[in-house]
Amino acid sequence: MEQILRLLTIQRVLIKHGLDEFVFATHLFRPFRFIYFILPWNWFGRKTGPRAVRMRSALEDLGPIYVKLGQILSTRRDLLPEDIANEFAKLQDNVAPFSGEVARSIIEKAYQEKLENVFLEFDETPLASASIAQVHRAVLKDGREFIVKVIRPDIERLIKNDLALLHLLAEKAEKYYRKGRALRFTGVVDEFEKTLLNELDLQREAANASQLRRNFREEEQYFVPEVNWELTKRNVLVMELVRGVSVRDIDALKAAGIDLRWLAEYGVEVFFTQVFRDNFFHADMHPGNIFVTPPEQGKPAMVKVIDFGIMCSLTEFDQRYLAENFMAFLNRDYHRVAALHIESEWVPRGTRMDELESAIRSVCEPLLDRPMHEISFGELLQRLLQIARSFNVEIMPQLIMLQKTIINIEGIGRQLYPELDLWKTARPQLERWRDERIGTKGLIKDAKQHIPKLIDRMPGLPNKIIDVIDRINNGKIEMENKSQEIHELRHEMKSYNRRTVLAVVGSGFLLSSSIIYALDKGTHGEFLSVPIVSWLLGFAGMMLLYLSWQEK
């Protein structure tokens, strides 16, 4: 019943924004398209506006879960038209806060005691509110300022209901929409579900923050807040309060004496360090999550980050794919790019390298025919993923998250410093990774990792060999397979061998019979004459061939 009511709400919102015309244009509803024209609200021309704006407004009206879906869809520029992706990127996760009293009761239930026993102060007025959780300021008993992040009440039930409905709509879209299967709507919903459910677990976010803080513990200009693990629960996160100037406020950054060129380049350097050194990067780097403190008392300026609900890792394969592709693009070596795709089996077997190379060149050459500081790293990766999609390559979610983060980092960097050369800043990290993983350093590193393991196993190796030999001698290891399928296969192979032998011998008898008959001069007696022998050989050959056909 709840899903039916939700469907009716969705229908009402679609009608409000004039999006029902797209529903009736689908394969499923096309036979009933005439209904669209007889509905009263379509009799008079509605002011609609661009489709992308109407779709964004509809998502905002449907609520925070659909706003979050739109945000994720905005990163799938390999799937969405550019106008819709750009409009969805404007979606902001601004949600009305729930009451501070409710937040207090949720926290007290998690701790099973009154807040006065835990915090010196707790501000019931939230600092920020989003679709999944909201944040309050608190002071610990030792006087330190922390934030308390609280999951919204009853949000898990609402999310699961909306996800069930989205799964249903995605399945129907793939079934009845001509391009639905290629766009993999169900895959997008699966990815969305995983992201949302991960965000519901604040202990996971706390673990992400701790890992990132540990990775940069030696870096004095990059700050990750400390987690209070004693007070952190699945639905409550307690973390050090971050203060500073938001990177959104460029005038305030200038007034604070912060070097905007340094800030832009340092942000790019840190990001690529996370990707290629640590293999663990912050995948939600929008301006609201980045703050800067100005230099003071001999201390340098510091970049501070918050919100660690969405972190991502790349496999070694993904890292190699990105590093080598970017380096090949820098050198305009499109043949190498195509070869990398084929070698890594990212494209289907049988893909012609010349066709793939031509596609890469035609898409990327116009992009690269600009000054280096004008080339968009994010756009290049987007083009690369589009090429992969056109050759039926499955795009991994972690690469989509990487693309989204690069676009965000690049956008922030060029707002701060329009002349930012992302390639120049990123190249040292790419080359360092390549040297460490593929060059001499990589070989030495692999040897250091694997030789100790081999040495540890060497002393026990002779005993293991002797044990295997003893077990073979004692009959404990037998090369047999009792599978019924294998037994039947053996029977068929034996039968096939017998048929082959019979057929070969029978054919030989028939051939011999024919040769003897052809050479006969009719000089022998009738019974022992050559024609009789020829006849007997022929009869035997026919019988053997008959038996070969009947053999089971």
**Low-confidence winner among 11-15, 97-101, 149-153, 227-231 (lowest mean pLDDT):** 11-15
C-beta of residue 274 within 8 angstroms of C-beta of residue 406: no
Q: Is pLDDT of 280 > 80?
A: yes
pLDDT of residue 496: 60
Q: Which two tokens stand for residue 99?
A: 């009451």
Structure confidence at residue 528 as a pLDDT band (50, 70, 90): very low
Alpha-carbon distance of 534 to 281, in angstroms, equals: 86
Q: What is the pLDDT of residues 321-342, one digit of tens each?
A: 777 777 787 778 888 888 877 7
Cα angle 378, 394, 71; round to 5: 50
| Total Cβ atoms within 10 A of residue 362 | 11
Pairing label, strands 236-240, 222-223: unpaired
Alpha-carbon distance of 114 to 77, in angstroms, equals: 48
User: Cα 392 vs. chain centroid, distance in angstroms?
Assistant: 15
Q: What is the pLDDT of residues 120-176, one digit of tens each?
A: 999 999 998 888 899 999 999 999 999 999 999 988 888 888 888 888 877 877 776
Alpha-carbon distance of 547 to 502, in angstroms, equals: 7
Sign of CA dihedral 400, 326, 213, 90: negative
Alpha-carbon distance of 348 to 252, in angstroms, equals: 52
| Alpha helices, DSSP H, located in 256-313 | 260-273
DSSP string, 318-375: HHHHHHHHHHHHHTT-HHHHHHHHHHTT-S-TT--HHHHHHHHHHHHHHHHSS-GGG-
Q: Which two tokens stand for residue 16?
A: 């409000």
Which range of 253-257, 372-376, 428-432, 525-529 scores highest in mean pLDDT? It is 253-257
pLDDT of residue 350: 73
Q: Which residue in 345, 391, 344, 382 sits closest to 364, CA to CA?
A: 382
Alpha-carbon distance of 302 to 220, in angstroms, equals: 7
Q: In the β-sheet with 302-305, what is the strand arrangement from edge to edge?
A: 222-223, 302-305, 290-293, 245-246
Q: Which residue in 392, 279, 403, 380 sits closest to 345, CA to CA?
A: 392
pLDDT of residue 440: 56
Which range of 80-89, 339-348, 478-487 scores highest in mean pLDDT? It is 80-89
The helix/strand/coil state of 309 is coil
Could you give the residue numbers annotated as active site? 284
Q: What is the pLDDT of residues 83-118, one digit of tens each?
A: 787 787 777 666 788 999 999 999 999 999 999 999
pLDDT > 90 fraction of the chain, expressed in percent and rounded: 22
Q: What is the pLDDT of residues 378-409, one digit of tens each?
A: 677 777 667 776 776 666 666 677 777 877 88
